[in-house]
């Protein structure tokens, strides 16, 4: 059907030109889509790196790191701590709601996903 339509309205040279234009447009769309995807990934990485650096550098007037309370911190506050993402923040709050307040800082290791290694990274950013 498409072949008949092309044969009835266009010469062979015009048909070749139309097919060429369509192929070029399709290739351009694919390449542009890949370019945009890569650019978004790169921008996301840069934004995350910048945010983590700024969070790590944020200090109060005493020159110490601003610490987030694991007993009272909201999910937004907890996510500002380097190493705590949205899932971990949700788990901390769920644990806190179920088990009650954390008695000591090391109790945070009872939360799924926080072990010795992660605790050592978080320790300077959290408080009771």
pLDDT in tens, 16-40: 898 899 999 998 888 887 777 777 7
Nearest partner of 71 among 45, 107, 43, 96, judged by Cα: 96
pLDDT in tens, 79-108: 888 888 888 888 888 888 888 888 888 888
Residue 122 has pLDDT above 80, yes or no: yes
Q: How far apart are alpha carbons 6 and 79 in whole angstroms?
A: 59
Q: What is the pTM of this model?
A: 0.48
Q: Residue 56 has what pLDDT?
A: 64
* Cβ atoms of residues 114 and 108 within 8 Å: yes
């Amino acid at each position: 059907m498409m072949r008949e339509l092309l044969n009835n309205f266009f010469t062979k040279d015009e048909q070749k030109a139309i097919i060429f234009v369509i192929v070029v447009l399709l290739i351009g769309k694919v390449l542009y889509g890949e370019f945009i995807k890569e650019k978004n990934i790169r921008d996301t990485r840069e934004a995350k790196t910048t945010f983590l650096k700024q969070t790590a550098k944020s200090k109060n007037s005493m020159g110490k790191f601003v610490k987030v309370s694991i007993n009272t911190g909201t999910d937004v506050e907890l996510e500002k701590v380097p190493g705590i993402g949205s899932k971990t923040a949700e788990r901390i709050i769920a644990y806190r709601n179920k088990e009650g307040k954390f008695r000591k800082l090391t109790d945070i290791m009872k939360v799924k996903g926080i072990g010795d290694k992660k605790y050592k990274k978080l320790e300077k950013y959290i408080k009771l």
